[in-house]
Structure 1
Protein backbone atom coordinates (compact mmCIF):
# COMPACT_ATOMS: atom_id res chain seq x y z
CA UNK A 1 0.00 0.00 0.00
CA UNK A 2 1.32 3.43 -0.94
CA UNK A 3 1.64 6.12 1.71
CA UNK A 4 -1.07 8.82 1.52
CA UNK A 5 1.42 11.43 0.30
CA UNK A 6 2.87 9.20 -2.43
CA UNK A 7 0.51 9.03 -5.39
CA UNK A 8 0.65 6.10 -7.80
CA UNK A 9 1.54 7.58 -11.19
CA UNK A 10 1.73 5.49 -14.31
CA UNK A 11 3.78 6.08 -17.44
CA UNK A 12 2.09 4.97 -20.66
CA UNK A 13 4.57 2.33 -21.79
CA UNK A 14 3.52 1.69 -25.38
CA UNK A 15 6.43 3.58 -26.93
CA UNK A 16 8.86 6.37 -26.04
CA UNK A 17 11.15 7.34 -23.15
CA UNK A 18 9.34 5.46 -20.39
CA UNK A 19 12.29 4.65 -18.12
CA UNK A 20 13.39 8.29 -17.80
CA UNK A 21 9.90 9.33 -16.70
CA UNK A 22 9.74 6.53 -14.14
CA UNK A 23 13.05 7.77 -12.68
CA UNK A 24 11.89 11.41 -12.61
CA UNK A 25 8.58 10.50 -10.94
CA UNK A 26 10.35 8.44 -8.28
CA UNK A 27 12.58 11.50 -7.60
CA UNK A 28 9.35 13.51 -7.14
CA UNK A 29 8.18 11.09 -4.40
CA UNK A 30 5.64 9.25 -6.53
CA UNK A 31 5.16 5.50 -6.78
CA UNK A 32 5.83 5.13 -10.50
CA UNK A 33 4.88 2.17 -12.68
CA UNK A 34 4.59 1.40 -16.40
CA UNK A 35 1.07 1.13 -17.84
CA UNK A 36 0.32 -0.92 -20.97
CA UNK A 37 -3.13 -2.39 -20.37
CA UNK A 38 -6.54 -1.12 -19.21
CA UNK A 39 -6.36 -3.00 -15.90
CA UNK A 40 -3.01 -1.30 -15.13
CA UNK A 41 -4.49 2.10 -16.03
CA UNK A 42 -7.32 1.46 -13.56
CA UNK A 43 -4.78 1.17 -10.72
CA UNK A 44 -3.08 4.59 -11.04
CA UNK A 45 -3.94 8.02 -9.63
CA UNK A 46 -2.36 9.88 -12.56
CA UNK A 47 -0.59 9.18 -15.85
CA UNK A 48 2.35 10.52 -17.83
CA UNK A 49 2.21 10.20 -21.62
CA UNK A 50 5.84 10.28 -22.76
CA UNK A 51 7.56 11.55 -25.86
CA UNK A 52 8.03 9.24 -28.80
CA UNK A 53 6.20 9.18 -32.11
CA UNK A 54 2.59 10.33 -31.78
CA UNK A 55 1.29 8.45 -34.84
CA UNK A 56 2.82 5.16 -33.64
CA UNK A 57 1.54 5.81 -30.10
CA UNK A 58 -1.98 6.35 -31.43
CA UNK A 59 -1.90 3.06 -33.37
CA UNK A 60 -0.46 1.12 -30.42
CA UNK A 61 -3.09 2.56 -28.06
CA UNK A 62 -5.76 1.05 -30.31
CA UNK A 63 -3.86 -2.23 -30.65
CA UNK A 64 -3.57 -2.62 -26.87
CA UNK A 65 -7.22 -1.63 -26.30
CA UNK A 66 -6.10 1.51 -24.47
CA UNK A 67 -7.53 4.42 -26.48
CA UNK A 68 -11.08 4.42 -25.09
CA UNK A 69 -10.01 3.67 -21.48
CA UNK A 70 -7.50 6.55 -21.73
CA UNK A 71 -10.14 8.92 -23.08
CA UNK A 72 -12.57 7.87 -20.36
CA UNK A 73 -10.07 8.38 -17.52
CA UNK A 74 -9.00 11.78 -18.86
CA UNK A 75 -12.65 12.84 -19.31
CA UNK A 76 -13.39 11.77 -15.74
CA UNK A 77 -10.61 14.02 -14.42
CA UNK A 78 -7.60 11.73 -13.92
CA UNK A 79 -4.50 13.97 -13.78
CA UNK A 80 -2.41 13.50 -16.91
CA UNK A 81 0.89 14.99 -18.11
CA UNK A 82 2.01 14.76 -21.73
CA UNK A 83 5.52 15.58 -22.97
CA UNK A 84 6.30 16.19 -26.67
CA UNK A 85 4.32 13.41 -28.40
CA UNK A 86 2.28 13.25 -25.19
CA UNK A 87 1.29 16.90 -25.73
CA UNK A 88 0.06 15.97 -29.20
CA UNK A 89 -1.89 13.03 -27.76
CA UNK A 90 -3.67 15.35 -25.29
CA UNK A 91 -4.65 17.93 -27.93
CA UNK A 92 -8.27 18.19 -28.96
CA UNK A 93 -7.05 18.99 -32.48
CA UNK A 94 -3.87 18.44 -34.55
CA UNK A 95 -3.22 20.98 -37.29
CA UNK A 96 -1.43 18.52 -39.57
CA UNK A 97 -2.36 14.96 -38.54
CA UNK A 98 -1.00 11.90 -40.27
CA UNK A 99 -3.57 9.67 -41.97
CA UNK A 100 -5.57 7.82 -39.33
CA UNK A 101 -3.87 9.60 -36.42
CA UNK A 102 -6.10 10.06 -33.37
CA UNK A 103 -5.63 11.77 -30.02
CA UNK A 104 -6.87 11.13 -26.51
CA UNK A 105 -7.85 14.77 -26.18
CA UNK A 106 -8.51 16.59 -22.93
CA UNK A 107 -6.84 19.95 -23.58
CA UNK A 108 -8.62 22.58 -25.66
CA UNK A 109 -5.69 23.39 -27.97
CA UNK A 110 -4.56 23.03 -31.56
CA UNK A 111 -1.00 21.72 -31.99
CA UNK A 112 1.47 21.57 -34.86
CA UNK A 113 3.60 18.41 -35.10
CA UNK A 114 7.41 18.68 -35.57
CA UNK A 115 7.02 22.47 -35.44
CA UNK A 116 10.57 23.19 -34.24
CA UNK A 117 12.15 21.11 -37.00
CA UNK A 118 13.56 17.66 -37.62
CA UNK A 119 15.71 15.43 -35.40
CA UNK A 120 18.97 17.14 -36.39
CA UNK A 121 17.49 20.51 -35.38
CA UNK A 122 16.89 19.38 -31.78
CA UNK A 123 18.08 21.78 -29.09
CA UNK A 124 18.03 22.63 -25.39
CA UNK A 125 16.71 25.91 -24.00
CA UNK A 126 15.91 27.51 -20.64
CA UNK A 127 12.14 27.95 -20.30
CA UNK A 128 10.35 29.98 -17.61
CA UNK A 129 7.32 27.93 -16.56
CA UNK A 130 4.55 29.55 -14.49
CA UNK A 131 4.06 27.67 -11.23
CA UNK A 132 7.59 26.22 -11.18
CA UNK A 133 9.86 27.94 -8.66
CA UNK A 134 13.64 28.14 -8.71
CA UNK A 135 14.32 29.70 -12.11
CA UNK A 136 13.94 28.41 -15.66
CA UNK A 137 13.44 24.75 -16.51
CA UNK A 138 15.93 23.27 -18.95
CA UNK A 139 13.86 21.99 -21.84
CA UNK A 140 15.04 19.45 -24.40
CA UNK A 141 13.23 19.94 -27.72
CA UNK A 142 13.38 16.88 -30.02
CA UNK A 143 11.21 17.13 -33.18
CA UNK A 144 9.03 19.11 -30.81
CA UNK A 145 5.50 20.33 -31.44
CA UNK A 146 4.22 23.71 -30.41
CA UNK A 147 0.73 24.92 -29.49
CA UNK A 148 -0.82 27.02 -32.25
CA UNK A 149 -3.81 28.21 -30.22
CA UNK A 150 -5.65 27.51 -26.98
CA UNK A 151 -9.27 27.73 -25.87
CA UNK A 152 -10.59 29.90 -23.07
CA UNK A 153 -10.20 27.16 -20.43
CA UNK A 154 -6.54 26.46 -21.24
CA UNK A 155 -3.82 28.28 -19.30
CA UNK A 156 -0.52 29.05 -21.06
CA UNK A 157 2.36 28.24 -18.67
CA UNK A 158 5.36 28.90 -20.94
CA UNK A 159 6.41 30.27 -24.30
CA UNK A 160 9.66 29.96 -26.22
CA UNK A 161 10.50 32.32 -29.12
CA UNK A 162 6.88 33.43 -29.25
CA UNK A 163 5.45 29.90 -29.37
CA UNK A 164 3.41 28.24 -26.61
CA UNK A 165 5.34 25.24 -25.20
CA UNK A 166 3.57 24.46 -21.91
CA UNK A 167 -0.13 24.49 -21.01
CA UNK A 168 -2.51 23.36 -18.31
CA UNK A 169 -6.25 22.76 -18.34
CA UNK A 170 -7.66 21.58 -15.03
CA UNK A 171 -5.87 18.33 -14.15
CA UNK A 172 -4.15 18.05 -17.56
CA UNK A 173 -0.61 19.35 -18.08
CA UNK A 174 1.47 19.30 -21.27
CA UNK A 175 4.90 20.46 -22.46
CA UNK A 176 6.51 20.52 -25.90
CA UNK A 177 9.84 19.65 -24.32
CA UNK A 178 11.30 16.68 -22.43
CA UNK A 179 12.04 17.56 -18.78
CA UNK A 180 12.79 13.91 -17.98
CA UNK A 181 16.08 14.04 -19.93
CA UNK A 182 17.74 16.80 -17.87
CA UNK A 183 17.91 15.59 -14.26
CA UNK A 184 15.68 18.56 -13.27
CA UNK A 185 12.58 16.95 -11.78
CA UNK A 186 10.57 20.09 -11.00
CA UNK A 187 8.00 19.53 -13.79
CA UNK A 188 7.41 16.01 -12.46
CA UNK A 189 7.18 17.50 -8.97
CA UNK A 190 4.51 19.94 -10.19
CA UNK A 191 2.57 17.06 -11.73
CA UNK A 192 2.92 14.87 -8.62
CA UNK A 193 1.45 17.77 -6.59
CA UNK A 194 -1.45 18.00 -9.08
CA UNK A 195 -2.12 14.29 -8.54
CA UNK A 196 -1.98 14.70 -4.74
CA UNK A 197 -4.42 17.61 -4.93
CA UNK A 198 -6.80 15.56 -7.10
CA UNK A 199 -6.79 12.73 -4.56
Structure 2
Protein backbone atom coordinates (compact mmCIF):
# COMPACT_ATOMS: atom_id res chain seq x y z
CA UNK A 1 0.00 0.00 0.00
CA UNK A 2 1.41 3.44 -0.89
CA UNK A 3 2.60 5.42 2.09
CA UNK A 4 3.26 9.11 2.66
CA UNK A 5 6.40 10.55 1.15
CA UNK A 6 9.06 11.49 3.73
CA UNK A 7 9.57 15.19 4.24
CA UNK A 8 12.82 16.79 3.13
CA UNK A 9 15.27 17.67 5.89
CA UNK A 10 14.80 21.33 4.95
CA UNK A 11 11.01 21.23 5.36
CA UNK A 12 9.62 22.82 8.54
CA UNK A 13 8.01 20.40 10.96
CA UNK A 14 4.52 21.65 11.83
CA UNK A 15 2.94 21.09 15.23
CA UNK A 16 -0.47 19.57 14.57
CA UNK A 17 -2.95 18.94 17.32
CA UNK A 18 -5.65 16.29 17.45
CA UNK A 19 -8.77 17.43 19.28
CA UNK A 20 -8.77 14.94 22.15
CA UNK A 21 -12.22 15.40 23.62
CA UNK A 22 -13.62 12.13 22.21
CA UNK A 23 -12.97 9.76 19.32
CA UNK A 24 -10.04 7.95 17.67
CA UNK A 25 -7.32 10.35 18.79
CA UNK A 26 -4.43 7.90 19.09
CA UNK A 27 -4.71 6.69 15.50
CA UNK A 28 -4.57 10.24 14.13
CA UNK A 29 -1.57 11.10 16.33
CA UNK A 30 0.29 8.09 14.92
CA UNK A 31 -0.65 8.88 11.31
CA UNK A 32 0.42 12.53 11.64
CA UNK A 33 3.77 11.52 13.12
CA UNK A 34 4.35 9.09 10.25
CA UNK A 35 3.47 11.90 7.81
CA UNK A 36 6.15 14.21 9.22
CA UNK A 37 4.39 16.34 11.83
CA UNK A 38 4.89 16.82 15.54
CA UNK A 39 1.54 15.52 16.78
CA UNK A 40 -0.02 16.45 20.12
CA UNK A 41 -3.40 15.93 21.77
CA UNK A 42 -5.40 19.13 22.30
CA UNK A 43 -7.93 19.48 25.10
CA UNK A 44 -7.22 22.92 26.56
CA UNK A 45 -6.92 26.45 25.16
CA UNK A 46 -3.17 26.58 25.81
CA UNK A 47 -2.63 23.39 23.80
CA UNK A 48 -4.66 24.84 20.93
CA UNK A 49 -2.55 28.02 21.01
CA UNK A 50 0.60 25.94 20.44
CA UNK A 51 -0.78 24.12 17.37
CA UNK A 52 -0.15 25.17 13.77
CA UNK A 53 -3.06 23.01 12.58
CA UNK A 54 -5.71 20.71 14.01
CA UNK A 55 -7.29 17.35 13.24
CA UNK A 56 -10.85 16.75 14.42
CA UNK A 57 -11.18 12.97 14.63
CA UNK A 58 -14.00 10.54 14.11
CA UNK A 59 -16.21 9.74 17.05
CA UNK A 60 -19.67 10.93 18.09
CA UNK A 61 -20.28 14.45 16.83
CA UNK A 62 -22.97 15.44 19.34
CA UNK A 63 -20.80 14.32 22.25
CA UNK A 64 -17.82 16.13 20.76
CA UNK A 65 -19.73 19.39 20.43
CA UNK A 66 -21.00 19.18 24.02
CA UNK A 67 -17.51 18.51 25.35
CA UNK A 68 -16.12 21.43 23.33
CA UNK A 69 -18.57 23.65 25.19
CA UNK A 70 -17.78 22.05 28.55
CA UNK A 71 -14.00 22.48 28.07
CA UNK A 72 -14.40 26.12 27.00
CA UNK A 73 -13.07 25.31 23.53
CA UNK A 74 -15.99 25.89 21.16
CA UNK A 75 -15.61 29.62 20.54
CA UNK A 76 -11.80 29.39 20.56
CA UNK A 77 -11.94 26.71 17.86
CA UNK A 78 -14.33 28.78 15.79
CA UNK A 79 -12.07 31.82 16.12
CA UNK A 80 -8.95 29.91 15.07
CA UNK A 81 -10.74 28.48 12.04
CA UNK A 82 -12.00 31.93 11.04
CA UNK A 83 -8.44 33.20 11.40
CA UNK A 84 -7.21 30.63 8.88
CA UNK A 85 -5.85 27.75 10.98
CA UNK A 86 -5.66 24.59 8.82
CA UNK A 87 -8.09 21.92 10.00
CA UNK A 88 -8.76 18.37 8.87
CA UNK A 89 -11.99 16.69 9.96
CA UNK A 90 -12.61 12.96 9.41
CA UNK A 91 -16.09 11.44 9.77
CA UNK A 92 -17.46 13.21 12.88
CA UNK A 93 -14.83 15.84 12.18
CA UNK A 94 -16.46 16.47 8.78
CA UNK A 95 -19.72 17.10 10.61
CA UNK A 96 -17.96 19.50 12.98
CA UNK A 97 -16.53 21.68 10.18
CA UNK A 98 -19.82 21.88 8.26
CA UNK A 99 -21.82 25.09 8.16
CA UNK A 100 -25.15 23.20 8.25
CA UNK A 101 -26.32 19.69 9.18
CA UNK A 102 -29.14 17.41 8.16
CA UNK A 103 -30.39 14.85 10.70
CA UNK A 104 -28.47 16.61 13.47
CA UNK A 105 -29.82 17.23 16.96
CA UNK A 106 -31.45 20.59 17.50
CA UNK A 107 -28.87 21.62 20.09
CA UNK A 108 -25.88 20.36 18.11
CA UNK A 109 -23.10 22.89 17.54
CA UNK A 110 -20.67 22.94 14.63
CA UNK A 111 -17.48 24.90 14.14
CA UNK A 112 -17.92 25.84 10.48
CA UNK A 113 -15.04 26.22 8.07
CA UNK A 114 -16.48 24.61 4.93
CA UNK A 115 -19.53 25.98 3.14
CA UNK A 116 -21.39 22.68 2.93
CA UNK A 117 -24.44 20.85 4.16
CA UNK A 118 -23.61 17.43 5.66
CA UNK A 119 -25.99 14.57 6.41
CA UNK A 120 -25.12 12.65 9.59
CA UNK A 121 -24.95 8.82 9.51
CA UNK A 122 -25.82 8.96 5.82
CA UNK A 123 -24.15 5.64 4.91
CA UNK A 124 -26.01 3.74 7.62
CA UNK A 125 -25.61 2.39 11.13
CA UNK A 126 -22.57 0.85 12.82
CA UNK A 127 -23.38 -2.63 11.47
CA UNK A 128 -23.44 -1.22 7.93
CA UNK A 129 -19.82 -0.01 8.10
CA UNK A 130 -17.64 -0.85 5.11
CA UNK A 131 -14.33 -0.20 3.37
CA UNK A 132 -13.96 1.15 -0.16
CA UNK A 133 -11.21 2.34 -2.48
CA UNK A 134 -11.61 6.07 -3.03
CA UNK A 135 -9.79 8.24 -5.57
CA UNK A 136 -8.89 11.48 -3.79
CA UNK A 137 -7.81 14.48 -5.86
CA UNK A 138 -4.43 15.74 -4.71
CA UNK A 139 -3.37 12.33 -3.34
CA UNK A 140 -0.99 10.55 -5.71
CA UNK A 141 -0.35 6.82 -5.91
CA UNK A 142 -3.78 5.40 -6.58
CA UNK A 143 -6.97 5.08 -4.53
CA UNK A 144 -7.08 5.56 -0.77
CA UNK A 145 -8.71 2.77 1.22
CA UNK A 146 -11.48 4.48 3.13
CA UNK A 147 -13.13 3.05 6.24
CA UNK A 148 -16.74 4.25 6.52
CA UNK A 149 -18.22 3.92 10.03
CA UNK A 150 -21.65 5.56 10.52
CA UNK A 151 -20.23 7.94 7.95
CA UNK A 152 -21.74 11.23 6.79
CA UNK A 153 -21.80 12.48 3.24
CA UNK A 154 -21.93 15.97 1.77
CA UNK A 155 -25.37 16.90 0.45
CA UNK A 156 -24.31 20.17 -1.16
CA UNK A 157 -21.41 22.63 -1.30
CA UNK A 158 -20.95 26.33 -1.87
CA UNK A 159 -19.07 27.80 -4.80
CA UNK A 160 -15.75 27.98 -2.93
CA UNK A 161 -15.61 24.29 -2.02
CA UNK A 162 -13.50 21.82 -4.00
CA UNK A 163 -14.89 18.28 -4.22
CA UNK A 164 -11.96 15.88 -3.83
CA UNK A 165 -13.69 12.50 -3.83
CA UNK A 166 -17.03 10.86 -4.64
CA UNK A 167 -18.18 7.37 -3.64
CA UNK A 168 -21.36 5.74 -4.90
CA UNK A 169 -22.56 9.10 -6.21
CA UNK A 170 -22.01 10.96 -2.94
CA UNK A 171 -19.35 13.51 -2.07
CA UNK A 172 -17.02 12.09 0.59
CA UNK A 173 -14.00 14.44 0.59
CA UNK A 174 -13.87 18.21 0.23
CA UNK A 175 -11.56 21.14 0.75
CA UNK A 176 -12.14 24.85 1.17
CA UNK A 177 -8.91 26.82 1.55
CA UNK A 178 -7.08 25.52 4.62
CA UNK A 179 -9.91 23.21 5.75
CA UNK A 180 -10.07 19.57 4.60
CA UNK A 181 -12.73 16.97 5.40
CA UNK A 182 -13.39 13.31 4.62
CA UNK A 183 -16.40 11.10 5.36
CA UNK A 184 -14.06 8.17 5.91
CA UNK A 185 -11.26 7.24 8.30
CA UNK A 186 -7.85 7.03 6.57
CA UNK A 187 -6.12 6.79 9.95
CA UNK A 188 -7.36 3.20 10.38
CA UNK A 189 -5.68 1.76 7.29
CA UNK A 190 -1.93 2.37 7.67
CA UNK A 191 -1.99 4.55 4.53
CA UNK A 192 -0.95 8.04 5.61
CA UNK A 193 -1.29 9.90 2.29
CA UNK A 194 -4.34 11.93 3.32
CA UNK A 195 -2.51 12.96 6.48
CA UNK A 196 0.55 13.82 4.38
CA UNK A 197 -1.67 16.07 2.25
CA UNK A 198 -2.87 17.82 5.39
CA UNK A 199 0.65 18.14 6.80
CA UNK A 200 1.66 19.83 3.55
CA UNK A 201 -1.33 22.17 3.86
CA UNK A 202 -0.19 23.15 7.36
CA UNK A 203 3.45 23.41 6.33
CA UNK A 204 2.47 25.87 3.59
CA UNK A 205 1.17 28.28 6.23
CA UNK A 206 4.37 28.38 8.31
User: Which TM-score applies when normalising by structure 2?
Assistant: 0.95
Partner of 1:9: 16
Is 1:158 aligned to 2:168, yes or no?
no
Q: Describe the SS at the equivalent of 1:198.
A: coil
Is 1:41 aligned to 2:41, yes or no?
no
Q: Describe the SS at the equivalent of 1:20.
A: helix
Query: What is the total number of aligned residue pairs between the two structures?
Result: 197
Partner of 1:100: 107
Q: Describe the SS at the equivalent of 2:204.
A: helix
Q: Describe the SS at the equivalent of 1:120.
A: helix
**Map 1:68-87 → 2, pairs under 5 A:** 68-87=75-94
**Map 1:52-67 → 2, pairs under 5 A:** 52-67=59-74
Distance in 2 separating the partners of 1:41 and 1:118: 32
Structure 2: 5+ residue runs without aligned partners? Answer: 1-9
Partner of 2:39: 32
Structure 1: 5+ residue runs without aligned partners? Answer: none
Q: Given the alignment, which residue of 161, 182, 187 partners 2:189?
A: 182
CA RMSD, Structure 1 to Structure 2 (Å): 0.8
User: Which TM-score applies when normalising by structure 1?
Assistant: 0.98
Q: Given the alignment, which residue of 122, 127, 130 partners 2:137?
A: 130
**Map 1:102-121 → 2, pairs under 5 A:** 102-121=109-128
Q: Describe the SS at the equivalent of 2:136.
A: coil
CA shift, 1:109, in A, is: 0.1
Greater mean alpha carbon deviation, residues 21-30 or residues 91-100: 91-100
Is 1:146 aligned to 2:157, yes or no?
no
Q: Given the alignment, which residue of 77, 84, 91 partners 2:98?
A: 91
Distance in 1 separating the partners of 2:23 and 2:169: 27
CA shift, 1:4, in A, is: 5.8
**Structure 1 consecutive aligned stretches of length 4 or more whose deviation exceeds 4 Å:** none
